[in-house]
Amino acid sequence: MLGETVTGVVSGLAAEPVSVSGIAVALVSVVVGFGAWWTYFDFAGHREPQRTPAATVRWMLAHLPLTAAVAAMGAAMISLVEHAHAARTPAATAWMLCGSAAVVLLSTMLVATGLEAWHSKPGLYRPLSRTSGAAAVACLGLGAARPAPIVLGLVPVVLFSVTWGVAVSYRLRQSDPAGE
């Protein structure tokens, strides 16, 4: 699915003459796509699901909107790069990208509820789930605002970064002997 992001950016670049704004939006778009995957793999990927039928089903089904959202982000990036010079992002593009980023954040936390780590590390996952929920709401507000494409690309990167900051802060507290 990560290839959808790269394909979307390349397709957008190929459709328009080369410009500084086009390249800037393309680079930001790639970072958004990689940020979505980083969010998933840092918080949910490569972790053991709980060994209960309900948790297994939730874990499996939560991956469906997650992968669909990443593919939709790649599709939105074509238009985002094509409209890099615009004062406002087209409504469909803004909603597709921001709605997809919100779905990535929320479905990653839904996947995480089916993990062993959800119960063994509540000090990480409870604040992380609240932060992800707030970031998802902010993504939707961004989609409604429809700022210029470069801003529409940069803000999700910042919102993903806030969630990563929560995780890094937790991990630093865990590795600091004085903080225990």
Q: How many domains does the chain have?
A: 1
**Between 179 and 49, where is the model more confident?**
49
| Each residue's pLDDT tens digit, 64-96 | 999 899 889 888 988 998 899 999 999 999 999
Asked if the structure places residue 20 within a domain, the reply is yes
CB 89 within 8 A of CB 147: yes
Asked if the structure places residue 97 within a domain, the reply is yes
pTM above 0.85, yes or no: yes
19: left (phi over 0), alpha (psi -120 to 50) or beta: beta
Asked if the structure places residue 180 within a domain, the reply is no
Structure-block tokens of residue 103:
């779905």
Cα dihedral value 33, 36, 37, 41, nearest 10 = 160
